[in-house]
Amino acid sequence: MTQPISGFSKKSKAEKIEWLAANYLQNTPNAVETLRKYWNEDAAVQQLHDDFIENTLSNYYLPFGIAPNFLINNSMYALPMVTEESSVVAAASNAAKFWLERGGFKAEVISTEKNGQIHFNFFGSEKDMEAFFEEVKPKLIESIQSIEKNMKARGGGLLGLSLVDKSHILDGYFYIHATFETLDAMGANFINSCLEQIAHTFETEAKDFELFQKKETYPEVVMSILSNYVPECLVRAEVSCKLDELTTKQYDGKQFAEKFVRAIEIAKTETRRAVTHNKGIMNGVDAVVLATGNDFRAVEAGVHAYAARNSYYGSLTHAKIEADSFTFWIEVPLAVGTVGGLTSLHPLTKLAFEILQKPNAKELMKILAVAGLAQNFAAVRSLVTTGIQKGHMKMHLMNILNQLQASKEEKNEAVRYFTEQAVSHSAVVEFLEKTRK
């Protein structure tokens, strides 16, 4: 059995790889070669990547693609997308082209407020706590003046503080709810720094509060942390057109719209459908979030919490038919940044922002919402017409061919053959066996 190791983070990259190969990769002769193969040839770029996290051994590549033809608020965009799922970029591109001919996407930011909490225990009188909070509140705000100086100069900073009593749910549990405007920064470090300073001031001032001293009962801070649930940081994107503009060779516009709206209603009603429905939305959102160096885990967490805000989990998108018009839209919380973090460090992230014409945070929110709406439109359109697998498996064909180590000529032949044939792993195996004979 491999023994635990101490001081691993202090070893050089070569020493870490050597240890890993000796202890966990004895039966993988090409392991070290594989790790080295994905190093960047530019030593400075590789060092930059090595510094992103601890114990870096190599780079894990994902495709960086482009979905063109997005008309958003009458401006044209090409969306950089980072994803491993074969059909995402194609679906987004197809949806963009479809709506380009029908007026494009409209998007607006509804609000940009972010928040965090100072969670604490207090087992004394609720009225005493309320009195203390009102007395100490100005000092709490004053205590972060130096931290928020630069943010305030740009028009952001702390917006408000409020006391929340949750002791009826969890004995002795209260929290201070803090709201912030962080402008073009995602703001996690700024918010957490503010919260920790406020918490320190809160506990310090509590020691001198007379009502607490008399009863020898003081608040105890448990933790201070921002929240990734940001329902007040909201963006809306929509598309609309006349029903007859939805008519194609394959389907009648009115019938298609009715089936589409019904599919959305099902996703609003049935959680099992809603989860997959929303996952498809996030295929588009996450791909652009990754390309722009933002935190897709934070975005995912906040979005899915928002989908369950009404005590059940439902669709993030909505659709309706009014008279002879079809409208499809999304409202989604998105706390993202265009400065700080990896946004100015990762070379491809910087390039992604150039491609997007250097958007600010609000503009990026709109772009992300549109990416999610486009992805969802493409998925639901497939589901209510041809079925999801026809297009998805066509895109998955190359993955299967690569798994089966097909040659360039075999790949070309397979692409031609499966243009008119259903794609499955067994069908591709059978095709290659016949071709190779």
Q: Which residues are designated catalytic?
A: 85, 279, 295, 392
Which residues lie closer than 8 Å to 333 by C-beta, 6 or more apart? 229, 230, 231, 232, 233, 234, 235, 302, 303, 306
Q: What is the dihedral of CA 380, 337, 178, 229, to 10 degrees?
A: 20
DSSP for residue 185: B
DSSP run (H or E) holding 428: helix 425-436
Residue 339 in tokens? 């400065």
Alpha-carbon torsion 405, 409, 413, 419, what sign? positive
DSSP run (H or E) holding 257: helix 253-269
For tokens 């921002």, name the residue. 226
DSSP for residue 342: G
d(CA 252, CA 243): 9
Strand duo 220-226 + 157-165: pairing: unpaired
Residue 377 in tokens? 């439109």
d(CA 325, CA 304): 29
> For 29-148, where are the alpha helices, taking DSSP H only?
31-37, 43-50, 88-100, 126-142
> Do residues 228 and 302 touch, judged by C-beta distance below 8 A?
yes
How far CA 26 is from CA of 3, 18, 20, 38, 403, in Å, comes to 15, 11, 9, 20, 24
Question: Which of 215, 210, 151 minimizes the C-alpha distance to 183?
Answer: 151
Work out the burial of residue 186: count CB atoms within 10 Å of its CB; fewer than 13 is exposed, 13-18 middle, 19 or more buried: buried
> For 115-187, where are the alpha helices, taking DSSP H only?
126-142, 149-153
Residue 37 in tokens? 């193969």
Residue 220 in tokens? 């105890």
The SS3 assignment for 75 reads strand
